[in-house]
């Protein structure tokens, strides 16, 4: 029901409420306080103790003027009294305060008490004027709402109170009684009453618990409900273990790590079932995910089915194609590559061969998603670096097969809590082990005055046969003074560091044609180019184990996850490697971020920190995944509730409980929450 139908909300307030994202009366119930002030125990001035936080009801006794302190601040003081004593309110640099009070008026003060010599003071107390002893809003545990400048706390409190009294019937319980009982949850009306105007701390806590529970539960239930409606009677390709897996393992150029073997085992077992696999493989940078994709695709092809792998960039598609071809070279499989650069003629042949089943494995970019790409029997879809793909794109590829198995690989480590949350019942494998012989990448954070020394260090490594990356942010013309562009870095290297030798240094940037980029990348891989100066084109997945130095210019412009990805381009073999972050940043957040990089090489730790700094929503685009924002729960702090609700959701879905009458309100709620079903379905 539109907020304007609430008694006492005129057109102006309705507009202000809309500016806070409150459109309906239901919204207002769910507009939760960001904090509370405990004013439950008002005290007399005589009983105040130094350091305690209290609520007082007092009268304005004396309005002193404003004076300058020794440190140059404006200090305004006002004396308040009750029938037991006096206390002075002090405000810094708010001279207008003295005009807000009138001698003799009653106010409510809330703040921390200081005893200075014989005088009691409160610095910058919160206050409420026109105070009436009977005003329930003002005594007790008071809600503090997130507000903008249009509405006062008091007005909003009154509006909410009003809604709770006059429109309570709009608050309907959606959780069935048996769930309330089983988990000891308070009913919805009690919860909403107490989240806004808590009777006491205990009721507040119970209400918070109930609302967090509801929030996380609805999301988990929604995810699983839709997954089931898609997956329930899907029969998938039942792919047996190939008799040649052992031979393949023996022919690999390295021994698999335990984590790789475990992940492969999990994948092969999934593909043997007649339910489509739905697995996320998370491996830190350089942990060796490509070989896992290769083995899964091999097993699929050996059974006579087709497998496809989707890569986010052309450079990566080519790299995967060449690594996978080389890993599987002793087996008679037809492996193809399709990208934007594939010629028309080649493409025609590929399309025909795919459609009639000649091609066993195809690796490609977005070109794979085009409508005219058809498969004979696509049974496995692998996508690399999922965050680069819109969920819809992945769905497009999946739809080219008949319930194919899906394997999603990501190098962006997602903390387990978030994975639990975002992927509902997706199975997760974690490669938490790097191949043997890898050394920690030494990471330094330096100022730009060190640039020349850093470049000389690159020269030293190049002399020893190694290679280096220098990554520069993309800079606009107008930002030139602050940031060094790739071209400038290139000029400096060629002219100063390498005394005019322009053969071994190259620039790579997004504006170049694909051929140019490929040509340079190829030369770098072969080792002819020693130093690659680039914009972030190298960010994801590039594998050149001979590279030992990664320099990031204006490093403050990159997010933590991105810096970790960039650093992951070195230290990919057994050679000692270095990452040098150059930045003149002065703001604390940027310095914190760069310092974290110097302290840890662990992608999981880094992504947790990243989330602390930036918040989960922004990092993983919750909305992009079709997930609603969280209003009250916190996926880190509320991990226990998350697990409980996830298990409950699973159980209810498995037992088809949502079909029952008592669950109908819940089902309707979920259906309205997850209107865009496609975003959920693509996780299958
Ligand atoms: N078990 C292993 N032992 C030794 N080397 C390995 C092993 N597995 C993979 N490698 C090598 O490690 C390097 C990194 O592997 P790969 O390119 O698959 O990493 P990745 O997980 O895709 O990393 P990123 O996400 O950073 O691209 C490659 O050169 C690969 O040949």
Q: What is the pLDDT of residues 219-254, one digit of tens each?
A: 888 877 876 665 556 677 899 999 999 999 999 999
How far is the first Cα of the chain from the last one, in angstroms, to the nearest whole number?
36
The protein residue with its alpha carbon nearest to ligand 1, atom 4, reads: 435
* Nearest atom in ligand 1 to 290's CA: 18
Q: 109 Cβ partners below 8 Å, 6+ apart? A: 55, 56, 57, 58, 80, 87, 89, 122, 125, 126, 127
Predicted pLDDT at 543: 83
Predicted pLDDT at 128: 78
Mean pLDDT is lowest, of 44-48, 136-140, 367-371, for 136-140
Residue 466 has pLDDT above 90, yes or no: yes
Predicted pLDDT at 403: 84
Mean pLDDT, to the nearest integer, of 435-457? 92
CATH number of 442-620: 3.40.50.300
Going through 17-128 in order, the beta strands assigned E by DSSP cover 35-39, 42-43, 53-68, 74-82, 85-92, 106-116, 119-123, 126-128
Residue 568 Cα to ligand 1 middle (Å) = 11
Domains 245-431 and 442-620 share a fold: yes
Which run of H or E residues covers position 11? Answer: helix 11-19
> pLDDT tens across 470-523, in order?
998 876 656 666 667 888 889 989 998 888 888 889 998 877 887 888 888 889
Of 682 and 198, more confident: 198
Residue 212 has pLDDT above 60, yes or no: yes
Say if ligand 1 is within 6 A of residue 33 CB: no
Our mutation pick for probing the ligand 1 site, out of 435, 439, 541, counting the most ligand atoms within 8 A of Cβ, is 435
* Nearest atom in ligand 1 to 257's CA: 1
The protein residue with its alpha carbon nearest to ligand 1, atom 1, reads: 256
Say if ligand 1 is within 6 A of residue 417 CB: no
Give the model's confidence band at 619: pLDDT under 50 very low, under 70 low, under 90 confident, else very high.
very low
Percentage of residues in the chain having pLDDT higher than 70: 87
Predicted pLDDT at 416: 65
Mean pLDDT is lowest, of 210-219, 450-459, 560-569, for 560-569
Say if ligand 1 is within 6 A of residue 263 CB: no
The protein residue with its alpha carbon nearest to ligand 1, atom 30, reads: 288
Give the model's confidence band at 684: pLDDT under 50 very low, under 70 low, under 90 confident, else very high.
very low
Residue 287 Cα to ligand 1 middle (Å) = 5
Of 388 and 344, more confident: 344
> pLDDT tens across 254-283, in order?
999 999 999 999 999 999 988 888 888 888
* Nearest atom in ligand 1 to 437's CA: 4
Residue 559 has pLDDT above 60, yes or no: yes
Residue 683 Cα to ligand 1 middle (Å) = 25
Say if ligand 1 is within 6 A of residue 541 CB: yes
Predicted pLDDT at 391: 53
Pairing of strands 531-534, 578-582: unpaired
Domain boundaries, the chain: 41-138, 245-431, 442-620
Say if ligand 1 is within 6 A of residue 143 CB: no
Give the model's confidence band at 623: pLDDT under 50 very low, under 70 low, under 90 confident, else very high.
very low
Residue 538 has pLDDT above 70, yes or no: no
Say if ligand 1 is within 6 A of residue 626 CB: no
Predicted pLDDT at 620: 47
User: The complex's ipTM?
Assistant: 0.98
Residue 543 Cα to ligand 1 middle (Å) = 8
> pLDDT tens across 660-672, in order?
999 999 998 888 8
Instruction: Give the three-class secondary structure for 576.
Output: coil
Predicted pLDDT at 29: 94
Give the model's confidence band at 548: pLDDT under 50 very low, under 70 low, under 90 confident, else very high.
very high
Our mutation pick for probing the ligand 1 site, out of 248, 253, 286, counting the most ligand atoms within 8 A of Cβ, is 286
* Nearest atom in ligand 1 to 319's CA: 17
CATH topology of domain 41-138: OB fold (Dihydrolipoamide Acetyltransferase, E2P) (2.40.50)
Say if ligand 1 is within 6 A of residue 258 CB: no
Predicted pLDDT at 285: 83
CATH number of 245-431: 3.40.50.300
* Nearest atom in ligand 1 to 542's CA: 27
Predicted pLDDT at 246: 94
The protein residue with its alpha carbon nearest to ligand 1, atom 23, reads: 286
Say if ligand 1 is within 6 A of residue 545 CB: yes
Say if ligand 1 is within 6 A of residue 382 CB: no
Q: What would the 3-class secondary structure string for 476-530 be?
A: CHHHCCCCCCHHHHHHHHHHHHCCCCCCCEEEECCCCCHHHHHHHHHHHHHCCCC
> pLDDT tens across 78-123, in order?
999 999 999 999 998 888 888 888 999 888 888 899 988 788 999 9
* Nearest atom in ligand 1 to 286's CA: 23
Of 176 and 543, more confident: 176
Percentage of residues in the chain having pLDDT higher than 90: 42
Residue 256 Cα to ligand 1 middle (Å) = 10
Backbone angles phi, psi at 442, to 5 degrees: -70, 130
Work out the mean pLDDT of the chain and round it to a whole number. Answer: 85
């Amino acid at each position: 029901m539109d907020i304007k139908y609430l008694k006492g909300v005129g057109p102006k307030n309705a507009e202000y409420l809309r500016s806070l994202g409150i459109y309906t009366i239901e919204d207002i119930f769910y507009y939760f306080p960001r904090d509370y002030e405990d004013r439950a125990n008002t005290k007399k001035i005589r009983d105040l103790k130094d350091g305690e936080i209290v609520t007082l009801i007092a009268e304005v006794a004396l309005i002193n003027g404003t004076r300058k302190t020794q440190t140059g601040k404006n200090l305004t003081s006002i004396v308040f009294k009750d029938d037991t004593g006096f206390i002075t309110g002090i405000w810094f640099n708010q001279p207008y305060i003295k005009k807000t009070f009138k001698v003799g008026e009653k106010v409510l003060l809330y703040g921390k008490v200081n005893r200075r010599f014989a005088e009691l003071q409160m610095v910058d107390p919160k206050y409420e004027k026109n105070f009436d002893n009977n005003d329930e809003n003002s005594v007790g545990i008071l809600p503090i709402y997130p507000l903008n400048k249009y509405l006062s706390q008091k007005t909003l409190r009154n509006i909410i109170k009003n809604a709770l009294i006059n429109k309570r019937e709009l608050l309907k319980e959606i959780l069935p009684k048996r769930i309330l009982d089983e988990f000891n949850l308070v009913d919805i009306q009690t919860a909403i009453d107490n989240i806004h105007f808590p009777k006491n701390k205990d009721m507040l806590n119970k209400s918070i618990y109930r609302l967090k529970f509801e929030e996380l539960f609805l999301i988990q239930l929604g995810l699983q409900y839709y997954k089931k409606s898609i997956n329930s009677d899907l029969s998938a390709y039942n792919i047996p273990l190939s008799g040649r897996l052992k031979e393949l393992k023996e022919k690999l150029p390295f021994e698999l790590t335990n984590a790789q073997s475990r992940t492969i085992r999990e994948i092969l077992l999934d593909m043997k079932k007649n339910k489509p696999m739905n697995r996320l493989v998370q491996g830190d940078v350089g942990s060796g995910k490509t070989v896992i994709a290769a083995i899964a695709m091999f097993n699929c092809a050996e059974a006579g089915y087709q497998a496809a792998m989707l890569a986010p960039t052309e450079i990566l598609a080519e790299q995967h194609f060449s690594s996978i071809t080389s890993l599987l070279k002793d087996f008679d499989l037809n492996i193809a590559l399709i990208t934007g650069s594939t010629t028309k003629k080649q493409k025609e042949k590929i399309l025909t061969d795919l459609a009639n089943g000649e091609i066993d494995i195809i690796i490609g970019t977005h070109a794979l998603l085009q409508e005219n790409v058809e498969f004979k029997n696509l049974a496995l879809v692998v996508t690399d670096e999922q965050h680069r793909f819109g969920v819809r794109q992945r769905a497009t590829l999946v739809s080219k097969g008949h319930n194919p198995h899906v394997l999603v690989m990501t190098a962006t480590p997602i903390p387990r809590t978030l994975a639990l949350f975002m992927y509902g019942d997706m199975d997760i494998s974690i490669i938490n082990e790097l191949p043997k012989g890898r050394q920690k990448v030494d990471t330094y954070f330096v100022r730009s005055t060190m640039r020349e020394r850093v470049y000389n260090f690159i020269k030293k490594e190049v002399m020893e046969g190694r290679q280096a990356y220098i990554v520069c942010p993309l800079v606009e013309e107008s930002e030139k003074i602050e940031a060094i562009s790739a071209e400038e870095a290139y000029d400096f290297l060629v002219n100063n560091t390498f005394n005019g030798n322009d053969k071994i240094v190259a620039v790579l940037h997004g504006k170049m044609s694909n051929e140019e980029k490929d040509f340079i990348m190829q030369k770098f891989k072969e080792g002819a180019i020693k130093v690659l100066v680039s914009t972030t084109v190298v960010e994801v997945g590039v594998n050149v184990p001979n590279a030992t130095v990664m320099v990031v210019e204006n490093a403050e412009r990159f997010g933590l996850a991105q810096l970790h990805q960039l650093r992951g381009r070195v230290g990919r073999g057994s050679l000692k490697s270095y990452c040098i972050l150059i930045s003149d940043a002065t703001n604390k957040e940027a310095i914190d971020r760069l310092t974290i990089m110097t302290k840890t090489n662990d992608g999981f730790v880094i992504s947790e920190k990243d989330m602390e700094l930036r918040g989960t929503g922004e990092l993983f685009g919750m909305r992009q995944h079709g997930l609603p924002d969280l209003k009250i729960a916190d996926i880190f702090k509320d991990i226990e509730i998350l697990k409980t609700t996830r298990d409950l959701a699973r159980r209810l879905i498995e037992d088809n409980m949502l079909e029952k009458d008592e669950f109908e309100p819940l089902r309707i709620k979920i259906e309205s929450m997850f209107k865009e079903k496609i975003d959920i379905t693509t996780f299958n």
